[in-house]
Amino acid sequence: MIVAKDLVKEFKIYQHHRGAFGAIRNMFSTKHTIVRAVDQISFQIAAGELVGYLGPNGAGKSTTIKMLTGILVPTSGELTIGGIVPWRERVKHVRRMGVVFGQRTTLWWDLPVIETMELLRHIYKIPERQYRRNMDMFADLLGLSEFLNIPVRSLSLGQRMRADLAAAFLHDPEIVFLDEPTIGLDVLAKERIRQFIATINSEKKTTVILTTHDLGDVAKLCRRVMMIDRGKVLFDGALAELVSRFGGERRLIVDFAEEYDDLSIAGARIVAKEGRKVTYAFHSNGNGVAPLIENLSRNYKWADISLQDPDVETTIRHIYEQWEGDHSSEYC
């Protein structure tokens, strides 16, 4: 449904001249630097998928979303969504699409929420029955009725985000882009929004593409993740595969029953020690944890053992740290 091929977006940043004739010089100056925010990315997303689009700050996530929503025209490459090139047939494209930019509302600042929804109903020509049905559903899932009569500018961040989400899904779009929909929200609000996205995705088969820095969102919602750094997609696949491939080491936490001088065991390294509690890190290369525990039991008396598998959060931190290292080594 979404097909992107060698998609590139470059930004031209013009140098600013200061002083008396600065403004005039700015007009005729061709001096500029080029930032390649999205660098030849290719991917395909099928209808009904829920994809997490991840990457560190400045990776190019929002730029990609802006191309997908038809705001930006790609510098080069191909992009079709349901057979349409977004910027070429913008109106047709946005009619079946919804979008939330967590950083900034897409609603009308001065209108009360209910009037916003009414206005959208006219803009998208939503049939009365469909409108009522969705409004009831959102009242339920998002608690919209608490603040229907408040102007958007007076809403709290969490309320505004819920209103923005309702607005994005109001016309039953085929596809919705969510750029950081949980930014700055408390735990409960995040939970509610995740629940909402999951419900709509499974009930209405809406395709959802979601960017976030909250890995709870990813763990909870996304089966598939795409990871981007410096404009390039570096991983695209199942979340489970990401964790097993990049998850790094597992951890074994042992509570020893007695004091020992030498606690080193083959195949694991000590990463923390706190009294008699020692944390080992190890790669389970197919053998699992059994050999380690055997080894421990043979040489030591222990009281308690627990095992930690890498989770999404540590995996992704791990990956970012690796990339960070790669970048700094480039400058050496």
Ligand X SMILES: Nc1ncnc2c1ncn2[C@@H]1O[C@H](COP(=O)(O)OP(=O)(O)OP(=O)(O)O)[C@@H](O)[C@H]1O
Distances from the Cα of 63 to the Cαs of 58, 149, 212, in angstroms? 9, 34, 14
Distances from the Cα of 68 to the Cαs of 42, 88, 176, 257, in angstroms? 13, 12, 10, 59
Asked whether 241 and 209 are in contact (CB, 8 A), the reply is no
For residue 31, state whether it binds another protein (rule: CB under 8 A).
no
For residue 62, state whether it binds ligand X (rule: CB under 6 A).
yes
For residue 159, state whether it binds Mg ion (rule: CB under 5 A).
no
- Residue 165 gets which letter from DSSP? H
In whole angstroms, how close is the CB of 324 to ligand X at the nearest point? 15
In whole angstroms, how close is the CB of 3 to ligand X at the nearest point? 20
In whole angstroms, how close is the CB of 216 to ligand X at the nearest point? 16
* Residue from 15, 22, 31, 58 in contact with ligand X (CB under 6 A): 58
For residue 57, state whether it binds ligand X (rule: CB under 6 A).
yes
Instruction: Closer to ligand X by CB, 62 or 134: give it.
Output: 62
Q: At which residue do the structure tokens 């074994």 appear? A: 252
Residue 66: helix, strand or coil by DSSP?
A: helix
332's tokens: 């050496």
For residue 210, state whether it binds another protein (rule: CB under 8 A).
no
For residue 15, state whether it binds another protein (rule: CB under 8 A).
no
User: What contacts 24+ positions apart, CB below 8 Å, involve 308-312?
Assistant: 308/250, 308/251, 308/252, 308/253, 309/247, 309/250, 310/243, 310/247, 310/248, 310/249, 310/250, 311/219, 311/243, 312/215, 312/218, 312/219, 312/239, 312/242, 312/243
For residue 74, state whether it binds ligand X (rule: CB under 6 A).
no
For residue 59, state whether it binds ligand X (rule: CB under 6 A).
yes
Compose the 87-126 pattern: x for residues touching another protein by CB under 8 A, - for all others: x--xxx-xx-x-x-x-xxxxx---------------xx--
In whole angstroms, how close is the CB of 330 to Mg ion at the nearest point? 23
Q: How far apart are CA 65 and CA 41, in angstroms?
A: 13
With CB under 5 to 8 Å by kind, the binding choice for 283 among ligand X, another protein, Mg ion, none is: none
131's tokens: 């409108």
With CB under 5 to 8 Å by kind, the binding choice for 55 among another protein, Mg ion, ligand X, none is: ligand X
Strands 2-14 and 76-81: antiparallel
In whole angstroms, how close is the CB of 174 to another protein at the nearest point? 13
Q: Which residues bind Mg ion (CB under 5 A)?
A: 62
Q: Which residues bind ligand X (CB under 6 A)?
A: 11, 13, 35, 37, 55, 57-63
